[in-house]
Every structure is written in structure tokens, then in C-alpha cells.
Amino acid sequence: MKVIAECGVNFDTVDQAFDMIEKSMDAGCAYTKFQLYDDSVIKDSPLQAELRKRMITREFAEKLFDAGKDIGQPVIFTPMFLDAIDWIADMKVPMIKIRLADQANVEIGTRAQATGIPILSSIPAAYINDYLTMHPETTRSYNDEQQQIRFLYCVGSYPAHPDTYRFIPSDFIGSKRPGSHIIAGVSDHTKGPEVMARALECGAAFCEVHVMLEGTHPIEEKWSKTFEEVRTFQQS
């Protein structure tokens, strides 16, 4: 199972952001991920001031991506506005992650698909099968030859309780069943290792986990794991 280290907005300084790339590599994570948003995305957030301090510009995104490339750690992004998708395409980032809030955003979905880059999209766990049937536009470009879009089972609570993650092994067999939707993994919004362990046992290909640096108290602390906790899980 490939672990995606979601750094999100869990850094206070530029140096911490770069440090998180190295730490995620040391913890055995397959990817390090950051969020790309602009003022239009956070204008109604009560944390607007704090989020603005952590806003990633195109130049900063390119530096993060290059830093990962230098040490062999792939850096990927969640684009929350259209221009950010163009940045990702220009950098030749290996994967695009679509957040739960944008899983039915046709503009973002269409622009992301046009890049040809593989996409992971969070979709609601509560009605995962019904959702895929009711929203054919989400999977309209999918075919068995080119699995550009795959999905992460996601509980939209921050933080979430492990008991709300009710996936079973059959949720992740799509890649082995021709014509099926591809449920590739889980987006984990919990503190402990329980959801990660269950995802691994059930055959998930990916598990996205929010990460934080030891000794810090970041914005997403309540649903984040330390890099040491992730490393311990990977080595167990």
C-alpha cells in the first residue's frame, strides 16, 4: 500500500515545508502532498488569516516539487483553483489529488482530466456506490485501458472516528474486475493507526494520511499523525 503524506497546511515556515518532504521520505511514504489554494477558496474560512500565511505560490510549488525530485521523493498537489492545475501540468507532477469538496466540481475535474495525469479523487464514503452511479461525469473518461481516475474512500469529518470507516475488502477489487469503478484507497482523517491498518488488510492501493512534525501543534493536528507514527506503521 502506498502512503500519501498529506502535509496540507501543517507547516509554519518554509523550512518546515521542505523538512516535511524529507521526513515523509524517511517514513517510507510514496508521495508528499501539499494543497494549492488562493484567496477565493479561503474567503469564507474562519481561519483565513492563518491559511493565507501558508498559501503556496507557483514559485514555491515549483521549489517544493524540485526539492522532492532532488532526493527522489515525489511531491504532488491538490489543486483547488483552475490555474493551479496548469501549474501541475507544467511541472509534470506525477499525480493530481482532488479533494472531497471538489469531487463534483466539473470545471476542476475537466481541466484535471485534460492534463492526462493520473488522478486520485476523494468521494463520499457514506454512499460510495450510489455516488458513482449517480455521477457518471465523474467517471466518463474512465476505461479499462487507461485508468486515469481512481477514487479514495473518504469520510468528510475533521477529525473522523475510526468506526465511521466501514470499508470492506470488496470495495477495493475494482482494479481486478473489468468494467468496474476503481476504488483505489482511503483518505484517513483519524489520529491513530487503525484506519491505515484496516486499509492495508483490505487491499487498498493507497492511504492518504495527514502528517505533522514532532513537537508542533499545526492547524490539522486533531486528524494528523506524526512522521514517527507513520514510520512505525510502515515498519510493523
**3-40 per-position pLDDT tens digit:** 999 999 999 999 999 999 999 999 999 999 999 999 99
pLDDT band of residue 46 (cuts 50, 70, 90) is: very high
- 164: CB partners within 8 A, 6+ apart: 125, 155, 157
CA angle 20, 23, 29 (to 5 degrees): 100
Distance CA(230)–CA(235), nearest Å, equals 9
pLDDT band of residue 145 (cuts 50, 70, 90) is: very low
Distance CA(142)–CA(178), nearest Å, equals 12
pTM of the model: 0.91
Distance CA(113)–CA(148), nearest Å, equals 8
Residues above pLDDT 70, as percent of the chain: 87
Alpha helices in the chain (DSSP H): 14-26, 39-42, 48-53, 58-71, 82-91, 106-114, 128-134, 194-202, 227-235
pLDDT reported for residue 135:
60
pLDDT digits (tens, 9 = 90+) for 82-135: 999 999 999 999 999 999 999 889 999 999 999 999 999 998 876 666 666 666
Q: Is residue 138 over pLDDT 80?
A: no
Distance CA(71)–CA(129), nearest Å, equals 39
Distance CA(48)–CA(124), nearest Å, equals 25
Domain 2-235 is found in CATH 3.20.20.70:
yes
Q: Which set of grid coordinates corresponds to residue 75?
A: 511531491
Q: Is residue 81 over pLDDT 60?
A: yes
CA angle 214, 220, 222 (to 5 degrees): 80
pLDDT reported for residue 129:
60
- Compute φ and ψ for 137, nearest 5 degrees: -65, -25
Distance CA(143)–CA(153), nearest Å, equals 20
Residue pair 110/102 in contact by the 8 Å Cβ criterion: no
Q: Average pLDDT over the chain, rounded to whole?
A: 90
Q: Is residue 143 over pLDDT 70?
A: no
pLDDT reported for residue 126:
65
Q: Is residue 142 over pLDDT 50?
A: no
For the chain, counts of helices (H) and of strands (E) = 9, 9
